[in-house]
């Protein structure tokens, strides 16, 4: 078995009983064979000449064989490749094409190509240790007789120039490939030298039925793959607020930043053709928890050492900071920031993606379908023992893909969520979970369907806690959680209510069946039948402008014939509250919403009454205006204006403005804006490309957040 002494030590895998010859190499690798390639950045030298036999007298005379003089990747934005592959918007010096669709290259040889005698292959390789069996090395052949997993054909041959069509496999690895041309001679293989200019990005292809991210709807593709302009919904389901976002997936450096995230996660190259694995990995990597991912979460109100979550106007700055710093996590994010940057990642790689907002989102942390709110014996919320949480809203992502790993019918939109809530199988990540599976209570299929199911279907259960620490259910509200799920409609047609995609209508037979189905898979619900109180309380809605004082009005309805006396608490403060500006001014920092909970006890019956309402406090707007000739590469100006409407000064105010394709991020700080004072800020910019887009601006300071403005701009060529 002398051959085992050869440098090839992979004898072990085939004959494990026989120990490998070079122990040190394998001793810490368990049963895996060789290091697994997990970086797109890693490269390797491929020999320019690979002899077939020993050649004592040095290299042979190869003059009579084909020699490559030039290769043209046809990679300009206006050229056919990027146009046909819907990649012309990417700001990049490289060829970017999609899987399962032909692209063209022109090869110039030293002489006309002779099909009958000349043999060559266009070789693509990615990562280190490239191999055909791993899909990291793919030779593409020009002749029909000999084909590899990527189709190749000669489309045109005039004199020395050959136009070749190359079709990457529909499931090929997504990333940046190296490219060589290898000419086969009787003596050996002669290759072109590595030339970075020939590097080619191959990404997902929602336009091709062969690709597992195929989305058969042009309007949806325009929105969920190509649209850089976003709208994110927040506030209250009965008073929805919205804010703009610049996804900027085509901005310079963003595609590289997305691939950097895969490398930072040390994701094996062999997994990088699978949108299921890539989206799950990204849901873990976009938050910094447990893997030094992209964004640091912060709900504290203290953002001294980073950017306030409300201050960002887009994803570009965040992704470029992260990649540019070699993977230093960026501060700070809350749910909509995680979702917006995740959306950029998905669209940039070619996976259809959208941001959705779930109003009254349950964050269940013991895997059941109950949000436990614990009251003390007087009916007052006992915050020390109330551990589950309800968010007035929560944003996550949907991405579109087939699910070959699941039975029929669970492909399509999948929930992924990068906001760290609970660990999934040991890491902070969530999904992809099939929306169809959630709607039908089929929560047994990976990944994390039970958690998402709870976010939209949990019951609100009020308990009273007795002195000895035990809990008794006193009220159950089944209609509160998952009240409405919204996403942006395609092509600026406003909002789109997709609640019905997550659940059947409240109170229908289907809804009951689904809940029972989910229970079969271990989602427990509160079964105790709780007798209703004969008194109802409701918090009345009202429109509140920031800075106004307002009365919070509670309306009681007595269904009984006798008098009822109710001890009522609102957010733990007793009886009817007049909410003064000073009270909430420094409370509703993040999202400009006040979430009121009224709980109490009817003296005569001892029954518990409860009510909840989110009141959105409306903020002043920023005005954004543009001037100058609206032509590509010509100078234009944007003016951002704001007047402080309050009786107090605003301090350390940050203003941001940016616009996809026309203006990268600009920031300005004002140390103070006095009461009634107005600031006016003008910046110049020159549009990079034609078309209709937007400039988006934000104003942010500790006392006033969530102030936005935008203006639409149409640029002529």
User: Which 285-304 residues touch its own copies, going by CB under 8 A?
Assistant: 287, 289, 296-302
The answer to whether the beta carbons of residues 420 and 287 sit under 8 Å apart is yes
The answer to whether the beta carbons of residues 95 and 133 sit under 8 Å apart is no
Sign of the alpha-carbon dihedral angle for 247, 248, 250, 253: negative
Nearest to residue 225, comparing CAs of 97, 343, 341?
343
Q: Choose between 52 and 69: whose C-beta lies nearer to its own copies.
A: 52
> Buried (b) or exposed (e) across 430-460, using 16+ Cβ within 10 A?
bbbbbbbbbbbbbbebbbbbbbbbbbbbbbb
Token output for 48: 């320019």
Among 155, 491, 528, 572, binds its own copies (CB under 8 A): 572
DSSP letter for each residue of 269-325: GGGTT-HHHHHHHHHHHTB-TTT--SEEE--SS--TTS--TTT--BSHHHHHHHHHT
Region 440-479 residues binding its own copies, contact defined as CB under 8 A:
444-446, 450, 465, 467-471
- Measured CA to CA, the distance from residue 156 to residue 386 in angstroms comes to 72
Among 198, 319, 427, 486, binds its own copies (CB under 8 A): 427
**321 flagged as catalytic:** no
Task: Please identify, among the stretches 84-92, 498-506, 518-526, 678-686, the one whose residues bind its own copies according to the rule CB under 8 A.
Answer: 518-526
Site string for its own copies, 131-170 (x = CB under 8 A): xxxxx-x-x-x----x-x----------------------
Q: What are phi and psi of 184, to 5 degrees?
A: -95, 120
Token output for 287: 């938050």
* Residue 386 binds its own copies, judged by CB under 8 A: yes
Minimal distance, residue 384 CB to its own copies, in Å: 5
Among 405, 551, 553, 634, binds its own copies (CB under 8 A): 405
Minimal distance, residue 172 CB to its own copies, in Å: 13
Minimal distance, residue 241 CB to its own copies, in Å: 12
Nearest to residue 714, comparing CAs of 683, 696, 685, 689?
689
Site string for its own copies, 596-625 (x = CB under 8 A): xx----------------x-----------
Minimal distance, residue 45 CB to its own copies, in Å: 16
Minimal distance, residue 471 CB to its own copies, in Å: 6
The reply to whether 590 sits in an annotated binding site is no
E strand or H helix that includes residue 360: strand 353-363
Region 176-235 residues binding its own copies, contact defined as CB under 8 A:
182, 184, 189
- Measured CA to CA, the distance from residue 658 to residue 230 in angstroms comes to 13
- From the list 172, 258, 335, 523, the catalytic residue is 335
Region 4-23 residues binding its own copies, contact defined as CB under 8 A:
4, 8-20, 23
- Measured CA to CA, the distance from residue 274 to residue 99 in angstroms comes to 12
* Residue 548 binds its own copies, judged by CB under 8 A: no
Q: Choose between 2 and 158: whose C-beta lies nearer to its own copies.
A: 2
Site string for its own copies, 55-74 (x = CB under 8 A): --------------------
* Residue 545 binds its own copies, judged by CB under 8 A: no
* Residue 703 binds its own copies, judged by CB under 8 A: no
Q: What are phi and psi of 84, to 5 degrees?
A: -65, -30
Question: Judged by CB under 8 A, how many residues of this single chain contact its own copies?
Answer: 113
* Residue 372 binds its own copies, judged by CB under 8 A: yes
Minimal distance, residue 662 CB to its own copies, in Å: 34
The reply to whether 506 sits in an annotated binding site is yes
**335 flagged as catalytic:** yes
The answer to whether the beta carbons of residues 411 and 396 sit under 8 Å apart is no
- Measured CA to CA, the distance from residue 52 to residue 182 in angstroms comes to 14
Region 328-367 residues binding its own copies, contact defined as CB under 8 A:
363, 365-366
Region 85-124 residues binding its own copies, contact defined as CB under 8 A:
121
The reply to whether 457 sits in an annotated binding site is yes
Query: Which segments of 126-270 are extended strands (E)?
Result: 137-140, 151-158, 161-167, 175-184, 188-191, 200-203, 229-236, 239-246
**234 flagged as catalytic:** no
Q: Choose between 17 and 509: whose C-beta lies nearer to its own copies.
A: 17
- Measured CA to CA, the distance from residue 118 to residue 132 in angstroms comes to 23
Please return the burial class of 61, using the count of CB atoms within 10 Å of its CB with bins 0-12, 13-18 and 19+.
exposed
- Measured CA to CA, the distance from residue 523 to residue 518 in angstroms comes to 6
Region 247-276 residues binding its own copies, contact defined as CB under 8 A:
270
> Which residue ranges are tagged as binding site?
457, 459, 506, 511
Residues serving a catalytic function are 335, 394, 417
> Which residue ranges are tagged as binding site for Ca(2+)?
457, 459, 506, 511
């Amino acid at each position: 078995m002398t051959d085992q002494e050869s440098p090839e030590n992979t004898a072990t895998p085939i004959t494990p009983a026989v120990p490998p010859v070079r122990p040190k190499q394998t001793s810490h690798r368990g049963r895996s064979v060789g290091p697994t390639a997990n970086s797109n950045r890693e490269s390797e030298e491929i020999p320019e000449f690979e002899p077939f036999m020993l050649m004592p007298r040095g290299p042979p005379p190869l003059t009579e064989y084909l020699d490559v003089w030039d290769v043209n990747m046809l990679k300009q934005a206006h050229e056919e490749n990027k146009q046909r592959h819907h990649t012309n918007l990417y700001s990049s010096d490289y060829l970017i094409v999609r899987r399962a669709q032909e692209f063209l290259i022109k090869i110039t040889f030293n002489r006309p190509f002779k099909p009958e005698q000349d043999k060559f292959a266009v070789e693509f390789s990615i990562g280190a240790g490239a191999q055909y069996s791993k899909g990291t090395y793919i030779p593409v052949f020009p002749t029909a007789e000999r084909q590899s997993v990527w189709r190749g054909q000669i489309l045109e041959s005039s004199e020395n120039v050959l136009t070749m069509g190359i079709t990457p496999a529909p499931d090929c690895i997504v990333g940046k490939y190296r490219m060589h041309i290898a000419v086969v001679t009787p003596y050996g293989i002669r290759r072109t030298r590595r030339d970075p200019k020939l590097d080619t990005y191959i990404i997902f292809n929602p336009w091709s039925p062969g690709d597992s991210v195929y989305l058969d709807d042009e309007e949806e593709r325009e929105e969920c793959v190509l649209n850089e302009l976003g709208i994110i919904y927040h506030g209250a389901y009965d008073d929805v607020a919205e804010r703009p976002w610049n996804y900027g997936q085509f901005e310079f450096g963003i595609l590289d930043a997305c691939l950097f995230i895969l490398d930072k996660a040390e994701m094996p190259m062999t997994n990088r053709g699978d949108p299921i694995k890539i989206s799950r990995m990204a849901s873990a990597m976009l938050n910094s928890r447990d893997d030094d991912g992209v964004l640091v979460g912060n709900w504290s109100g203290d953002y001294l050492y980073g950017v306030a979550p409300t201050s960002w106007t887009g994803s570009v700055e965040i992704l470029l900071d992260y990649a540019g710093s070699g993977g230093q996590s960026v501060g700070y994010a809350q749910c909509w920031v995680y979702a917006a940057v995740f959306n950029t990642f998905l669209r940039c790689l070619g996976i259809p993606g959208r941001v959705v907002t779930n109003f009254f989102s349950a964050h269940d942390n013991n895997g059941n379908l109950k949000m436990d709110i614990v009251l003390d014996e007087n009916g007052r919320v006992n915050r020390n023992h109330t551990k589950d949480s309800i968010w007035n809203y929560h944003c996550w992502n949907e991405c579109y893909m087939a699910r070959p790993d699941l039975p029929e019918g669970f492909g399509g939109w999948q929930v992924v969520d990068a906001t760290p809530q609970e660990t999934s199988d040991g890491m902070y990540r969530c999904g992809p979970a099939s929306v169809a599976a959630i709607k039908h209570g089929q929560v047994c299929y990976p990944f994390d369907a039970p958690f998402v199911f709870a976010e939209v279907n949990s019951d609100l259960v009020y308990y009273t806690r007795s002195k000895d620490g035990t809990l008794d259910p006193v009220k159950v509200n089944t209609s509160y959680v998952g009240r409405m799920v919204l996403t942006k409609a395609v092509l600026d047609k406003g909002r789109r209510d997709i609640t019905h995609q997550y659940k059947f209508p409240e109170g229908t037979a289907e809804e009951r069946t689904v809940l029972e189905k989910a229970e079969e898979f271990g989602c427990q619900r509160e079964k105790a039948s709780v007798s209703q109180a004969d008194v109802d309380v409701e918090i009345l809605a009202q429109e509140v402008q920031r800075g106004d004082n307002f009365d919070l009005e509670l309306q009681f309805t007595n269904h009984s014939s006798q008098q009822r006396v109710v001890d009522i608490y609102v957010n733990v403060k007793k009886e009817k509250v007049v909410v003064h500006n000073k009270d909430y001014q420094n409370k509703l920092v993040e999202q400009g919403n006040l979430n009121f909970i009224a709980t109490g006890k009817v003296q005569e019956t001892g029954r518990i009454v409860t009510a909840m309402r989110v009141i959105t406090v409306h903020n002043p707007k920023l005005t954004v205006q543009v001037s100058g000739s609206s032509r590509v590469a010509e100078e234009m100006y944007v003016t951002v204006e704001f007047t402080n409407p309050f009786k107090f000064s605003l301090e350390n105010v940050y203003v941001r403005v940016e616009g996809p394709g026309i203006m990268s991020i600009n920031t300005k700080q004002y140390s103070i804006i006095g009461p009634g004072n107005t600031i006016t800020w003008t910046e110049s910019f020159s549009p990079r490309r034609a078309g209709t887009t937007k400039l988006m601006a934000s104003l942010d300071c500790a006392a006033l957040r969530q102030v936005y403005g935008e203006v639409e701009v149409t640029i002529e060529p």
